[in-house]
Amino acid sequence: MVIGQERRTHGGTALLVLDEVQKARGWSEVVKGLWDEDRRKGFAVRVVLLGSSSLLLAHGTSESLAGRFDRHFCPHWTFAECREAFGWDLEKWVFFGGYPGAAPLVDDLPSWRKYVRDAIIEPAIARDVLALEKVGKPALLRNLFLLACRYPAQALSYTKMLGQLQDAGNTTTLAHYLDLLEAAWLVSGLEKHSSARVRVRGSSPKLLPWTNALVTAVDTRDFSTVLADGGVWGRLVENAVGAHLLAGLPTTSHQLSWWRKGDDEVDFIVTANDIVWAIEVKSGRPGSARGLDVFRKMHPDARCVLVGQGGVPLEEFFAASPSELLAFF
């Protein structure tokens, strides 16, 4: 890596932007050395490090740049961004998700799916996860990702996952692989909500791909078929709501989980300090909001939010910041 004398400015502040910095060998040590040198000499340089590999960036900053950086998360494009940039309506965004690079291909579904699988999913797994972390069963990790995309916004016990996965390990391995997929911003496994101060990793995580593009890219059904199937479409909408909450809520102050007691369930629970929001998604899929009523009786101080039919309109929910929207309840 070569950084010229342009970074040394006398008077004023310079902005240095390094894109795909993780591709340079030993980048974090070089940046650290130059940063410390500039500080000693009084050069006012602000440095922005960009990269498509979240795990490689995180690894480099935590190893060499501790105490010298502030991390900014750039999530998948939101409904408001895709509507403004591409003129998409809500249904199109729910199906195709938030990868702007794939947007020109949406009218050619096979090409769109190939692009997302080959240019996004495979590099994220092979480069971000398998190349950096020691993964004893790479086939199991890939199959776990595919399983999450087949069951978006659904809670599966680790035992059930092991029964469906080939080359299965144990529950600890699956939980670790879910953590790796989350670090790569691919899939999260939401814990079951507990009112206890000390929370224990649940045995039935709710699988949540970070964008529906990951779900529909590995599916075989077309847009009209999915839209006409209330159950499938409802899961996509619920997953989009969960992903919007994941990307938009500060992880330092908010916890996202789900809740079930017997046959009663609430789609998402948001906890911040002593405030609890119970969020139920209604997208036209058959079913009632009974779980919300049961949860309210058990937690009288909880703030209940209905998203979709009879509550906050979906377009309004997806166009707003989750933290700002929850502040109204």
Distances (CA, A) of 90 to 70, 84, 110, 165: 33, 12, 21, 34
Say if 167 falls within a structural domain. Answer: yes
Report pLDDT for 12: 63
Does residue 23 contact residue 56 with C-beta atoms inside 8 Å? no
Say if 115 falls within a structural domain. Answer: yes
Q: Do both 227 and 317 map to the same domain?
A: yes
Where do the H-state alpha helices sit in 65-186? Answer: 79-86, 90-96, 109-115, 122-123, 138-150, 158-164, 171-183
Report pLDDT for 101: 94
Q: Do both 322 and 255 map to the same domain?
A: yes
Cα-based angle 242, 244, 247 (whole degrees, multiple of 5): 110
According to the 3-state scheme, what is the secondary structure of 37-67?
A: HHHHHCCCEEEEECCCCHHHHHHHHHHHCCC
Q: Do both 21 and 90 map to the same domain?
A: no
Q: Do both 160 and 292 map to the same domain?
A: yes
Cα-based angle 264, 268, 273 (whole degrees, multiple of 5): 115
Q: Do both 33 and 152 map to the same domain?
A: no
The HSE-up count of residue 107 (CA atoms within 13 Å, CB side) is 3
CA distance 209 to 281: 17
Q: How far is CA 259 from the centre of its chain?
A: 19
Say if 116 falls within a structural domain. Answer: yes
Q: Do both 138 and 45 map to the same domain?
A: no
Say if 71 falls within a structural domain. Answer: no
Say if 178 falls within a structural domain. Answer: yes
Q: Do both 85 and 56 map to the same domain?
A: no
Domain count, the chain: 2
Q: How is 214-226 classified by DSSP, letter by letter?
A: HHHHT----HHHH
Does residue 135 contact residue 147 with C-beta atoms inside 8 Å? no
The pTM for the full model equals: 0.85
Q: Do both 22 and 131 map to the same domain?
A: no
Q: How is 154-207 classified by DSSP, letter by letter?
A: EE--HHHHHHH-TT---HHHHHHHHHHHHHTTSEEEEPBP--SSS----SSPEE
The residue written with tokens 């949860």 in the block is 295
Query: Which helix (H) or strand (E) covers residue 30, if one does?
Result: helix 27-41
Say if 189 falls within a structural domain. Answer: yes
Domain extent, residue 52, equals 5-64
Report pLDDT for 64: 60
Query: Which helix (H) or strand (E) covers residue 290, if one does?
Result: helix 290-298
Q: Do both 48 and 115 map to the same domain?
A: no
Q: Let me know how long the chain is.
A: 329
* Helix, strand, coil percentages for the chain (3-state, nearest 5): 50, 15, 35
Report pLDDT for 58: 64
Mean pLDDT, each 10-residue run in order, the chain (329 residues): 46 74 73 77 77 62 64 83 96 96 96 96 85 80 94 91 75 88 91 68 85 96 94 95 93 89 93 93 73 92 92 94 89
Say if 73 falls within a structural domain. Answer: no
Q: Do both 57 and 92 map to the same domain?
A: no
CA distance 209 to 236: 10
Say if 72 falls within a structural domain. Answer: no
Q: Do both 90 and 198 map to the same domain?
A: yes
Q: Do both 211 and 286 map to the same domain?
A: yes
